[in-house]
A and B are shown apart, each in its own frame.
Chain A
Amino acid sequence: MANSNLKETILNPIFKGNPITVLVLGICSSLAVTVELKGALVMALSVTIVTGLSSLVCSLLRKTIPNRVRIIVQLVVVALMVILVDQILKAFEATYAIDKSLSVYIGLIITNCIVMGRIEAFALGNKPVPSLLDGLANGAGYGMILIIVAFFREILGSGTLFGFRIIPDAAYAAGYMNNGLVILPPFALILLGLIIWIHRSIDKDLQEK
C-alpha cells in the first residue's frame, strides 16, 4: 500500500469522512456522554481502542471467517473488546468513578455503528495494519467531535472544564447563570448541527449541488 493511501486512511475519517459530522453515525452516544469533558475523553479513548482493535482482529481473521456467520463473529470480537475496556476501567481507582458515571454507555459501544461499519466496510477487505489505522482514525474522528461538544457543554452548562472552575465566582455574583438547557441532550443535537454546518461550509466537496 502506498504511503499516500495510508495517510488518506488516517486523515479521511478525521476530517472529510468524519463518522459523526459526515456519516452521521454514533449520534446517540455523542448526545449522552458529552455533559463533561472527563467522561467524553474516556468515551472517546474507549471507542478509539475498541474500533482499532476490533478492526485489527477481524482483519487478521478475514480469510477464515465463514461468510454466513461473519456478522456474528464480528459482534463477538467487538463485544470482547468492549468488555475488556469496561473491566479495565472498573479496575483502576482513577477511572472507576468515570466508568460508573458513563453507566450503560460503555457497554453500548457494542452497538455503535462506527465499530461494525468499519469492520464490514474496511477491515474485512484490507490488511491488518491499514485496518488498525482505519479503526483508530475513525475512533479519533468520533472522539474529536465528542470532545468539541463536551467542551462547550461543560463550560456553558457547569462553568467548568475537566471539573475545574473556569468561570469565576465573581461572574456568578454579578448575575451570570449556568445554562440548564446545555446540560440536556437537545442542546448537544443543536451543537452537532452547528458543527456539521460549519464543516460543510468550509469543505465545499461535501455540499450537494
Chain B
Amino acid sequence: MNTNSNTYTVIYTAIVVVIVAAVLAFVSQKLGPMQAANEKAETVSQILTAAQFGDKDSWAEKGNAATLDFYRDNAEAVYLVKRDGSTVRELDINAVEIYSVSELKAQNYKIKADEDFEIPVYLFKNGIKVIPVYGAGLWGPVWGYIAVNPDNRTIAGAYFDHESETPGLGGKIKDDPSFRAQFAGKVIDYTADRPFAIIKGGAKGQANAVDAITGATMTSKGLDAAIVEWLGSYENALGIETLFNAIAGEGKTINDEEE
C-alpha cells in the first residue's frame, strides 16, 4: 500500500487520534473517582494547614483517611454565604462536603459577573474561620485559604496553591513557607480601601499587607486581586465581621481599637 498518499495519511491520522482519545477517555473514567478522592483530601489538608492545624507536609504523611477524620472531629460548621448576606445552607461535615477548586472557579465567575454566589465559610471548633480566595495568576488560576482568628480581624494563617505558575518564582506562593508565614498576625482592615494587600517592594510593617514575591509580579498581583475580590465579596455580603459574629453565634465583641 502507498503509505504516502493523501487519503492514507488523513485516514491514518484520524484513526490514531480516535483510538488515543478513546483510551484516554476510558482511563480518565476509571481513575476519576480515585483522583477526586485525592484532590478532596488535598483541599482539606490545605484548609487545615491554613487554620494552623499542623504543617502541609505532615498531612501528606498522615494520609487521606487521617486528614478527613481530623477535619470531621474539628470542624464546627460550614456555611454558604449569598451576596445578600444570608446563609443558604450548611455543608455536611461528616460527609466532608467541601468546595473543590472547580467549584471555587464557578463561584469566582459569579462574583465577577455580578450574579448571586454561594461562597463557603469553614468554621472550626476553636473559633477559627477559613475562607477561600480564587483568582488568576500569570499562567493559570491561583487560589488559597485564609484563616481568621476568633477576633474576626487578625489572620491566623494562610495557604495558597496554583495550577501552573513558574516553579521557583510564582510557584513560591505555594512552595515557599516564608511567604505564607507572613500572613499570620496580619490584620484585615475593613475601614481601608483595600482590606488587605500584597505589596510589591515590601509591606514596610503595614498591618494589613505582606511583601510580594520578587520576580513574580504578575502572580503576586493576581493573588492580591483574588484576596481583595473575595474578601470584598464576603464583606459586601454582610460586612464580614457581622457575618463572622453571626456565624459564631456567641456575639463575640468586635475589637474596636482601630489604630
Contact = CB atoms under 8 A, between A and B. Distances in A.
A83 B28 CA distance: 10
Interface string B1-27: 001100011001100110010011001
B17 A76 contact: yes
B167 A80 contact: no
A43 to B, nearest CB: 13
Interface in A53-105: 63-69, 72-73, 76-77, 79-80, 83-84, 87-88, 90-93, 96-97, 100, 103-104
Bin chain A's interface residue count.
Answer: 20 to 34
A84 B20 contact: no
Interface in B1-60: 3-4, 8-9, 12-13, 16-17, 20, 23-24, 27-28, 31, 34-35, 38, 41-42, 60
A32 interface: yes
B202 interface: no
B4 A84 contact: no
Given A66-B8, A104-B164, A93 B13 contact: no
A83 B60 CA distance: 23
B23 A80 contact: yes
B167 A65 contact: no
A72 to B, nearest CB: 7
Contacts of B9: 66, 68-69
B31 A73 contact: no
Contacts of A88: 31
A65 B3 contact: yes
B64 interface: yes
B28 A69 contact: no
Contact of B38 (A64, A72, A93, A185): A93
Interface in A146-198: 185
Contact of B27 (A63, A67, A87, A92): A87
Contact of B63 (A66, A77, A93): A93
B4 to A, nearest CB: 6
Nearest to A61: B16
Given A67-B3, A68-B9, A73-B16, A91 B167 contact: no
B35 A87 contact: yes
B35 A90 contact: yes
B31 A87 contact: yes
B4 A68 contact: yes
B120 interface: no
Given A90-B35, A96-B38, A96-B42, A66 B4 contact: yes
Contact of A73 (B13, B64, B171): B13
A76 B31 contact: no
A202 B35 CA distance: 46
Contacts of B24: 80, 83-84
A76 B27 contact: no
B174 to A, nearest CB: 9
Given A69-B9, A72-B13, A80-B20, 4 more contacts: A65-B3, A65-B12, A84-B23, A93-B41
Interface of B: 3-4, 8-9, 12-13, 16-17, 20, 23-24, 27-28, 31, 34-35, 38, 41-42, 60, 63-64, 164, 167-168, 171
**Closest 5 interchain pairs by CB?**
A91-B31, A91-B34, A66-B9, A96-B38, A97-B60
12 contacts: A66-B4, A69-B13, A73-B12, A73-B16, A80-B20, A84-B27, A88-B31, A91-B31, A93-B63, A96-B42, A97-B60, A103-B164
